[in-house]
Amino acid sequence: MIKRFYSDLFIYALPMFLARAVGLLLLPIYTRQLGPVDFGFIEFVAASSTILLLVLPLEINQAVGRLIPEADSNLNQYKIFTSAFWFTFAVFFGFGSLIYISRFQLLDALNLSQNYAQYALLICIHFLVLALVNLLQVKFRFTSQAKSSVTINLSVVMSNFILVLYFSSLDKLGIEQYFLSQILAGLIGITLGVVMLSKQYKTPPLLKYIDILVLKKLLKYSMPLVVSSLGIALATSIDRVIIGSSVGLKELGYYGAALRLSAIVALGFYVISSAMTPTVYRDHVKAETKLFIAGIFQTTSFITITLLAVITFYSAEIIDLFAGEQFSTASKYLFYLTLSAVISGLYIFFLGMDIQKNTTLLSKINLSVGATVTILTCLSVPLYGVWGAVFSNLAGGIFRLSGYVYFSQKLYFVPFKFAWLISLICFLIIINAAITI
Protein backbone atom coordinates (compact mmCIF):
# COMPACT_ATOMS: atom_id res chain seq x y z
CA MET A 1 0.00 0.00 0.00
CA ILE A 2 2.82 2.39 0.89
CA LYS A 3 4.65 1.49 -2.33
CA ARG A 4 1.52 2.19 -4.37
CA PHE A 5 1.13 5.54 -2.58
CA TYR A 6 4.65 6.65 -3.50
CA SER A 7 4.23 5.34 -7.04
CA ASP A 8 1.08 7.43 -7.54
CA LEU A 9 2.81 10.35 -5.85
CA PHE A 10 5.69 10.47 -8.32
CA ILE A 11 3.83 9.48 -11.49
CA TYR A 12 0.73 11.66 -11.24
CA ALA A 13 0.71 14.07 -8.31
CA LEU A 14 4.28 15.37 -8.33
CA PRO A 15 4.26 16.69 -11.93
CA MET A 16 1.04 18.61 -11.18
CA PHE A 17 2.64 20.01 -8.03
CA LEU A 18 5.74 21.13 -9.92
CA ALA A 19 3.58 22.80 -12.57
CA ARG A 20 1.65 24.75 -9.96
CA ALA A 21 4.75 25.55 -7.94
CA VAL A 22 6.11 27.55 -10.89
CA GLY A 23 3.61 30.22 -9.87
CA LEU A 24 5.54 30.61 -6.63
CA LEU A 25 8.75 31.10 -8.59
CA LEU A 26 7.09 33.88 -10.57
CA LEU A 27 5.85 35.69 -7.47
CA PRO A 28 9.09 37.67 -6.91
CA ILE A 29 8.93 38.85 -10.53
CA TYR A 30 5.27 39.84 -10.40
CA THR A 31 5.53 41.72 -7.13
CA ARG A 32 8.69 43.61 -8.02
CA GLN A 33 7.58 44.56 -11.54
CA LEU A 34 3.91 45.31 -10.82
CA GLY A 35 3.98 46.81 -7.33
CA PRO A 36 1.27 46.39 -4.66
CA VAL A 37 -1.58 48.19 -6.47
CA ASP A 38 -1.33 46.49 -9.89
CA PHE A 39 -0.57 43.17 -8.23
CA GLY A 40 -3.72 43.71 -6.18
CA PHE A 41 -5.69 44.15 -9.41
CA ILE A 42 -4.24 40.88 -10.73
CA GLU A 43 -5.39 39.16 -7.54
CA PHE A 44 -8.85 40.69 -7.92
CA VAL A 45 -9.16 39.26 -11.43
CA ALA A 46 -7.81 35.87 -10.31
CA ALA A 47 -10.40 35.66 -7.52
CA SER A 48 -13.17 36.60 -9.94
CA SER A 49 -12.04 33.94 -12.42
CA THR A 50 -12.24 31.22 -9.75
CA ILE A 51 -15.92 32.00 -9.23
CA LEU A 52 -16.73 32.54 -12.91
CA LEU A 53 -15.10 29.27 -14.03
CA LEU A 54 -17.61 27.43 -11.86
CA VAL A 55 -20.73 29.51 -12.34
CA LEU A 56 -20.73 30.40 -16.06
CA PRO A 57 -20.34 26.89 -17.55
CA LEU A 58 -22.64 25.46 -14.86
CA GLU A 59 -19.95 23.02 -13.67
CA ILE A 60 -20.07 21.17 -16.99
CA ASN A 61 -16.47 20.08 -16.40
CA GLN A 62 -17.65 17.82 -13.59
CA ALA A 63 -20.28 16.31 -15.87
CA VAL A 64 -17.64 15.61 -18.51
CA GLY A 65 -15.40 13.97 -15.92
CA ARG A 66 -18.25 11.80 -14.68
CA LEU A 67 -19.93 10.82 -17.97
CA ILE A 68 -17.12 10.58 -20.51
CA PRO A 69 -15.51 7.46 -18.94
CA GLU A 70 -18.88 5.69 -19.27
CA ALA A 71 -19.29 6.48 -22.99
CA ASP A 72 -19.58 3.24 -24.95
CA SER A 73 -17.64 4.44 -28.00
CA ASN A 74 -15.07 6.97 -29.10
CA LEU A 75 -17.75 8.80 -31.05
CA ASN A 76 -19.88 9.30 -27.93
CA GLN A 77 -16.84 10.46 -25.99
CA TYR A 78 -16.18 12.94 -28.77
CA LYS A 79 -19.78 14.20 -28.68
CA ILE A 80 -19.60 14.73 -24.93
CA PHE A 81 -16.40 16.74 -25.22
CA THR A 82 -17.34 18.84 -28.25
CA SER A 83 -20.77 19.66 -26.83
CA ALA A 84 -19.16 20.82 -23.57
CA PHE A 85 -16.43 22.68 -25.46
CA TRP A 86 -18.78 24.80 -27.54
CA PHE A 87 -21.15 25.41 -24.64
CA THR A 88 -18.21 26.69 -22.58
CA PHE A 89 -17.02 28.82 -25.49
CA ALA A 90 -20.49 30.30 -26.00
CA VAL A 91 -21.13 31.27 -22.37
CA PHE A 92 -17.71 32.86 -21.89
CA PHE A 93 -17.89 34.66 -25.23
CA GLY A 94 -21.32 36.04 -24.36
CA PHE A 95 -20.26 37.01 -20.85
CA GLY A 96 -17.07 38.61 -22.13
CA SER A 97 -19.04 40.69 -24.62
CA LEU A 98 -21.30 42.00 -21.84
CA ILE A 99 -18.33 42.77 -19.61
CA TYR A 100 -16.56 44.67 -22.37
CA ILE A 101 -19.63 46.73 -23.23
CA SER A 102 -20.31 47.65 -19.60
CA ARG A 103 -16.68 47.82 -18.40
CA PHE A 104 -16.81 51.44 -17.21
CA GLN A 105 -20.03 50.96 -15.24
CA LEU A 106 -18.67 47.74 -13.75
CA LEU A 107 -15.48 49.41 -12.55
CA ASP A 108 -17.57 52.15 -10.92
CA ALA A 109 -19.70 49.56 -9.14
CA LEU A 110 -16.57 47.79 -7.86
CA ASN A 111 -14.87 51.03 -6.74
CA LEU A 112 -11.96 50.42 -9.09
CA SER A 113 -10.09 52.95 -11.22
CA GLN A 114 -11.37 53.62 -14.75
CA ASN A 115 -7.77 53.15 -15.93
CA TYR A 116 -8.28 49.39 -15.75
CA ALA A 117 -10.94 49.56 -18.50
CA GLN A 118 -8.15 49.31 -21.08
CA TYR A 119 -7.50 45.71 -19.99
CA ALA A 120 -11.11 44.53 -20.23
CA LEU A 121 -10.73 42.78 -23.59
CA LEU A 122 -7.59 40.92 -22.51
CA ILE A 123 -9.23 39.82 -19.27
CA CYS A 124 -12.30 38.47 -21.07
CA ILE A 125 -10.11 36.52 -23.52
CA HIS A 126 -8.10 35.24 -20.56
CA PHE A 127 -11.25 33.87 -18.90
CA LEU A 128 -12.28 32.11 -22.11
CA VAL A 129 -8.88 30.54 -22.75
CA LEU A 130 -8.54 29.41 -19.14
CA ALA A 131 -11.96 27.72 -19.22
CA LEU A 132 -11.11 25.79 -22.40
CA VAL A 133 -7.73 24.67 -21.08
CA ASN A 134 -9.39 23.37 -17.89
CA LEU A 135 -11.95 21.44 -19.95
CA LEU A 136 -9.23 19.79 -22.04
CA GLN A 137 -7.37 18.71 -18.92
CA VAL A 138 -10.54 17.21 -17.47
CA LYS A 139 -11.22 15.28 -20.68
CA PHE A 140 -7.78 13.66 -20.75
CA ARG A 141 -7.61 13.03 -17.02
CA PHE A 142 -10.91 11.14 -16.91
CA THR A 143 -10.25 9.03 -20.00
CA SER A 144 -7.15 7.46 -18.44
CA GLN A 145 -4.83 9.83 -20.28
CA ALA A 146 -3.26 11.47 -17.25
CA LYS A 147 0.03 11.97 -19.08
CA SER A 148 -1.73 14.01 -21.78
CA SER A 149 -3.40 16.13 -19.11
CA VAL A 150 -0.09 16.71 -17.36
CA THR A 151 1.57 17.52 -20.70
CA ILE A 152 -0.98 20.23 -21.45
CA ASN A 153 -0.65 21.66 -17.96
CA LEU A 154 3.14 21.72 -18.11
CA SER A 155 3.13 23.28 -21.58
CA VAL A 156 0.87 26.09 -20.37
CA VAL A 157 2.86 26.68 -17.21
CA MET A 158 6.27 26.61 -18.86
CA SER A 159 5.14 28.77 -21.80
CA ASN A 160 3.80 31.35 -19.38
CA PHE A 161 7.02 31.14 -17.36
CA ILE A 162 9.17 31.81 -20.43
CA LEU A 163 6.96 34.69 -21.60
CA VAL A 164 7.03 36.31 -18.17
CA LEU A 165 10.81 36.03 -18.06
CA TYR A 166 10.99 37.57 -21.54
CA PHE A 167 8.83 40.58 -20.66
CA SER A 168 10.63 40.95 -17.37
CA SER A 169 14.03 40.97 -19.09
CA LEU A 170 12.79 43.92 -21.17
CA ASP A 171 11.50 45.59 -18.00
CA LYS A 172 8.05 45.72 -19.62
CA LEU A 173 6.07 43.38 -17.39
CA GLY A 174 2.84 45.20 -16.62
CA ILE A 175 -0.80 44.21 -16.41
CA GLU A 176 -1.09 43.99 -20.20
CA GLN A 177 1.94 41.71 -20.50
CA TYR A 178 0.71 39.60 -17.59
CA PHE A 179 -2.53 38.74 -19.38
CA LEU A 180 -0.83 38.40 -22.77
CA SER A 181 1.47 35.79 -21.27
CA GLN A 182 -1.46 33.93 -19.76
CA ILE A 183 -3.45 34.02 -23.02
CA LEU A 184 -0.60 32.94 -25.30
CA ALA A 185 0.39 30.11 -22.96
CA GLY A 186 -3.24 28.98 -22.81
CA LEU A 187 -3.53 29.00 -26.60
CA ILE A 188 -0.46 26.78 -26.80
CA GLY A 189 -2.13 24.35 -24.41
CA ILE A 190 -5.37 24.39 -26.40
CA THR A 191 -3.52 23.80 -29.68
CA LEU A 192 -1.64 20.89 -28.15
CA GLY A 193 -4.87 19.42 -26.79
CA VAL A 194 -6.68 19.74 -30.12
CA VAL A 195 -3.81 17.95 -31.90
CA MET A 196 -4.05 15.12 -29.37
CA LEU A 197 -7.80 14.91 -29.91
CA SER A 198 -7.43 14.73 -33.68
CA LYS A 199 -4.97 11.85 -33.36
CA GLN A 200 -7.20 10.00 -30.91
CA TYR A 201 -10.54 10.35 -32.73
CA LYS A 202 -9.32 10.51 -36.34
CA THR A 203 -11.84 13.26 -37.18
CA PRO A 204 -11.69 17.04 -37.62
CA PRO A 205 -11.61 18.17 -33.99
CA LEU A 206 -14.35 20.37 -32.55
CA LEU A 207 -15.99 21.14 -35.91
CA LYS A 208 -18.86 18.68 -35.72
CA TYR A 209 -20.78 16.28 -33.50
CA ILE A 210 -22.30 18.97 -31.29
CA ASP A 211 -25.22 17.07 -29.81
CA ILE A 212 -28.02 18.98 -28.06
CA LEU A 213 -29.30 15.85 -26.34
CA VAL A 214 -25.83 15.13 -25.01
CA LEU A 215 -25.53 18.73 -23.81
CA LYS A 216 -28.85 18.45 -21.97
CA LYS A 217 -27.62 15.27 -20.29
CA LEU A 218 -24.41 16.99 -19.23
CA LEU A 219 -26.25 19.99 -17.80
CA LYS A 220 -28.79 17.80 -16.03
CA TYR A 221 -25.91 16.19 -14.15
CA SER A 222 -23.87 19.35 -13.55
CA MET A 223 -26.42 21.99 -12.59
CA PRO A 224 -27.22 20.53 -9.13
CA LEU A 225 -23.49 20.68 -8.37
CA VAL A 226 -23.21 24.42 -9.04
CA VAL A 227 -24.52 25.47 -5.64
CA SER A 228 -22.13 23.21 -3.74
CA SER A 229 -19.14 24.19 -5.87
CA LEU A 230 -20.08 27.84 -5.57
CA GLY A 231 -19.86 27.45 -1.82
CA ILE A 232 -16.25 26.30 -2.14
CA ALA A 233 -15.43 29.01 -4.68
CA LEU A 234 -16.87 31.75 -2.49
CA ALA A 235 -15.03 30.42 0.55
CA THR A 236 -11.69 30.63 -1.30
CA SER A 237 -12.20 33.77 -3.41
CA ILE A 238 -14.74 36.18 -1.98
CA ASP A 239 -12.16 37.62 0.41
CA ARG A 240 -10.06 39.10 -2.41
CA VAL A 241 -13.10 40.48 -4.21
CA ILE A 242 -14.37 42.24 -1.08
CA ILE A 243 -10.93 43.55 -0.07
CA GLY A 244 -10.32 44.93 -3.56
CA SER A 245 -13.63 46.76 -3.75
CA SER A 246 -13.97 47.79 -0.07
CA VAL A 247 -10.45 48.34 1.26
CA GLY A 248 -8.37 48.97 -1.86
CA LEU A 249 -6.10 47.27 -4.35
CA LYS A 250 -2.93 48.17 -2.45
CA GLU A 251 -4.05 46.26 0.64
CA LEU A 252 -5.24 43.47 -1.62
CA GLY A 253 -1.74 43.36 -3.09
CA TYR A 254 -0.25 42.77 0.36
CA TYR A 255 -2.90 40.20 1.21
CA GLY A 256 -2.52 38.48 -2.17
CA ALA A 257 1.25 38.13 -1.81
CA ALA A 258 0.87 36.43 1.57
CA LEU A 259 -1.97 34.30 0.21
CA ARG A 260 0.11 33.06 -2.73
CA LEU A 261 2.94 32.07 -0.41
CA SER A 262 0.54 30.21 1.88
CA ALA A 263 -0.83 28.40 -1.18
CA ILE A 264 2.24 26.16 -1.16
CA VAL A 265 0.50 24.35 1.70
CA ALA A 266 -2.60 23.79 -0.41
CA LEU A 267 -0.38 22.39 -3.17
CA GLY A 268 1.18 19.99 -0.70
CA PHE A 269 -2.23 18.73 0.41
CA TYR A 270 -3.24 18.40 -3.24
CA VAL A 271 -0.25 16.15 -3.92
CA ILE A 272 -0.96 13.99 -0.88
CA SER A 273 -4.65 13.71 -1.73
CA SER A 274 -3.95 12.81 -5.37
CA ALA A 275 -1.65 9.98 -4.31
CA MET A 276 -3.55 8.76 -1.24
CA THR A 277 -7.22 8.87 -2.27
CA PRO A 278 -7.13 6.26 -5.09
CA THR A 279 -5.40 3.81 -2.75
CA VAL A 280 -7.96 4.40 0.00
CA TYR A 281 -10.90 4.01 -2.39
CA ARG A 282 -9.50 0.70 -3.65
CA ASP A 283 -8.64 -0.79 -0.26
CA HIS A 284 -10.88 0.96 2.28
CA VAL A 285 -12.32 -2.36 3.52
CA LYS A 286 -8.86 -3.54 4.64
CA ALA A 287 -7.96 -2.96 8.27
CA GLU A 288 -4.48 -1.64 7.46
CA THR A 289 -5.94 1.15 5.31
CA LYS A 290 -7.05 3.08 8.39
CA LEU A 291 -3.57 2.81 9.87
CA PHE A 292 -2.16 3.92 6.51
CA ILE A 293 -4.33 7.09 6.56
CA ALA A 294 -3.43 7.80 10.20
CA GLY A 295 0.27 7.43 9.44
CA ILE A 296 0.15 9.86 6.51
CA PHE A 297 -1.83 12.27 8.72
CA GLN A 298 0.82 12.18 11.45
CA THR A 299 3.67 12.82 9.02
CA THR A 300 1.80 15.64 7.29
CA SER A 301 0.89 17.24 10.62
CA PHE A 302 4.52 17.22 11.77
CA ILE A 303 5.66 18.88 8.53
CA THR A 304 2.97 21.57 8.68
CA ILE A 305 3.69 22.37 12.33
CA THR A 306 7.37 22.77 11.46
CA LEU A 307 6.44 25.11 8.61
CA LEU A 308 4.16 27.18 10.86
CA ALA A 309 6.95 27.46 13.44
CA VAL A 310 9.39 28.73 10.81
CA ILE A 311 6.85 31.30 9.58
CA THR A 312 6.23 32.44 13.15
CA PHE A 313 9.80 33.64 13.56
CA TYR A 314 10.83 34.42 9.97
CA SER A 315 7.71 35.79 8.24
CA ALA A 316 9.32 39.16 7.51
CA GLU A 317 12.38 37.55 5.93
CA ILE A 318 10.20 35.19 3.86
CA ILE A 319 8.10 38.05 2.49
CA ASP A 320 11.21 40.11 1.75
CA LEU A 321 12.78 37.19 -0.12
CA PHE A 322 9.75 36.26 -2.24
CA ALA A 323 7.88 39.55 -2.62
CA GLY A 324 10.32 42.35 -1.84
CA GLU A 325 10.43 45.24 0.61
CA GLN A 326 7.38 46.92 -0.95
CA PHE A 327 5.27 44.07 0.42
CA SER A 328 6.63 44.01 3.98
CA THR A 329 3.11 44.63 5.33
CA ALA A 330 2.16 41.16 4.05
CA SER A 331 4.33 39.49 6.72
CA LYS A 332 1.75 40.07 9.47
CA TYR A 333 -0.83 38.04 7.52
CA LEU A 334 1.40 35.15 6.46
CA PHE A 335 1.13 32.94 9.55
CA TYR A 336 -2.65 33.14 9.81
CA LEU A 337 -3.21 32.53 6.10
CA THR A 338 -0.88 29.55 6.20
CA LEU A 339 -2.66 28.23 9.28
CA SER A 340 -5.97 28.65 7.46
CA ALA A 341 -4.56 26.67 4.52
CA VAL A 342 -3.43 23.91 6.88
CA ILE A 343 -6.80 23.65 8.63
CA SER A 344 -8.66 23.77 5.30
CA GLY A 345 -6.39 21.11 3.79
CA LEU A 346 -6.65 18.55 6.59
CA TYR A 347 -10.11 17.56 5.36
CA ILE A 348 -8.45 15.25 2.80
CA PHE A 349 -7.85 12.68 5.55
CA PHE A 350 -11.52 12.41 6.47
CA LEU A 351 -12.96 10.35 3.65
CA GLY A 352 -15.95 8.69 5.30
CA MET A 353 -18.54 10.64 3.32
CA ASP A 354 -16.69 9.99 0.06
CA ILE A 355 -16.32 6.28 0.77
CA GLN A 356 -20.03 6.00 1.58
CA LYS A 357 -20.86 8.20 -1.45
CA ASN A 358 -22.84 10.62 0.71
CA THR A 359 -22.47 13.54 -1.70
CA THR A 360 -25.60 15.23 -0.35
CA LEU A 361 -24.00 15.69 3.05
CA LEU A 362 -20.77 16.87 1.44
CA SER A 363 -22.70 19.46 -0.56
CA LYS A 364 -24.49 20.74 2.53
CA ILE A 365 -21.20 21.18 4.40
CA ASN A 366 -19.48 22.96 1.52
CA LEU A 367 -22.47 25.23 0.88
CA SER A 368 -22.76 26.07 4.57
CA VAL A 369 -19.06 26.93 4.75
CA GLY A 370 -19.25 29.08 1.62
CA ALA A 371 -22.27 30.96 2.95
CA THR A 372 -20.64 31.43 6.36
CA VAL A 373 -17.36 32.74 4.95
CA THR A 374 -19.18 35.02 2.52
CA ILE A 375 -21.36 36.54 5.24
CA LEU A 376 -18.48 36.92 7.69
CA THR A 377 -16.25 38.49 5.02
CA CYS A 378 -18.90 40.93 3.82
CA LEU A 379 -19.60 42.01 7.39
CA SER A 380 -16.07 42.09 8.79
CA VAL A 381 -13.91 43.48 5.97
CA PRO A 382 -15.64 46.92 5.88
CA LEU A 383 -15.15 47.10 9.68
CA TYR A 384 -11.74 45.50 10.20
CA GLY A 385 -10.14 45.63 6.77
CA VAL A 386 -7.85 42.78 5.74
CA TRP A 387 -7.91 41.24 9.21
CA GLY A 388 -11.63 40.67 8.77
CA ALA A 389 -10.91 38.50 5.72
CA VAL A 390 -8.05 36.69 7.47
CA PHE A 391 -10.15 35.56 10.41
CA SER A 392 -13.24 34.89 8.30
CA ASN A 393 -11.18 32.42 6.27
CA LEU A 394 -9.79 30.88 9.44
CA ALA A 395 -13.28 30.50 10.89
CA GLY A 396 -14.52 28.95 7.64
CA GLY A 397 -11.66 26.46 7.59
CA ILE A 398 -12.38 25.40 11.19
CA PHE A 399 -16.09 25.08 10.42
CA ARG A 400 -15.47 22.93 7.35
CA LEU A 401 -12.90 20.68 9.01
CA SER A 402 -15.20 20.18 12.02
CA GLY A 403 -17.99 19.04 9.73
CA TYR A 404 -15.73 16.59 7.92
CA VAL A 405 -14.29 15.22 11.15
CA TYR A 406 -17.66 14.75 12.84
CA PHE A 407 -19.52 13.06 9.99
CA SER A 408 -16.64 11.18 8.35
CA GLN A 409 -15.47 9.62 11.59
CA LYS A 410 -18.99 8.33 12.14
CA LEU A 411 -19.03 6.70 8.72
CA TYR A 412 -15.41 5.52 8.54
CA PHE A 413 -13.51 5.80 11.81
CA VAL A 414 -9.76 6.31 11.60
CA PRO A 415 -7.62 6.32 14.80
CA PHE A 416 -6.18 9.82 14.51
CA LYS A 417 -4.18 11.50 17.28
CA PHE A 418 -5.26 15.16 17.48
CA ALA A 419 -4.22 16.39 20.92
CA TRP A 420 -0.57 17.20 20.20
CA LEU A 421 -1.44 18.96 16.92
CA ILE A 422 -4.13 21.15 18.48
CA SER A 423 -1.88 22.01 21.44
CA LEU A 424 1.02 23.11 19.24
CA ILE A 425 -1.23 25.17 16.95
CA CYS A 426 -2.70 27.00 19.95
CA PHE A 427 0.81 27.63 21.28
CA LEU A 428 1.94 29.11 17.95
CA ILE A 429 -1.20 31.28 17.75
CA ILE A 430 -0.38 32.76 21.16
CA ILE A 431 3.20 33.52 20.09
CA ASN A 432 2.05 35.15 16.84
CA ALA A 433 -0.57 37.21 18.65
CA ALA A 434 2.10 38.48 21.03
CA ILE A 435 4.44 39.33 18.14
CA THR A 436 1.70 41.10 16.15
CA ILE A 437 0.55 43.16 19.12
d(CA 322, CA 326): 11
Amino acid identity for residue 124 in this structure: C
Instruction: Give the model's pLDDT for residue 10.
Output: 55
Using CB atoms within 10 Å of the CB of residue 72, give its burial: 0 to 12 exposed, 13 to 18 middle, 19+ buried: exposed
Residues 204-256 have pLDDT tens digits of 555 566 778 888 988 888 887 787 777 777 778 889 999 999 999 999 999 99
Instruction: Give the model's pLDDT for residue 360.
Output: 77
Contacts of 332 (CB under 8 A, 6+ apart): 315, 436
Instruction: Give the model's pLDDT for residue 429.
Output: 93
Find the largest Cα–Cα distance for the chain: 65
Amino acid identity for residue 10 in this structure: F
Instruction: Give the model's pLDDT for residue 20.
Output: 64
Instruction: Give the model's pLDDT for residue 209.
Output: 64
Q: Which residues of the chain have pLDDT under 50?
A: none
Amino acid identity for residue 406 in this structure: Y
- Contact (Cβ atoms closer than 8 angstroms) between residue 100 and residue 122: no
Amino acid identity for residue 374 in this structure: T
Residues 168-178 have pLDDT tens digits of 999 889 999 99
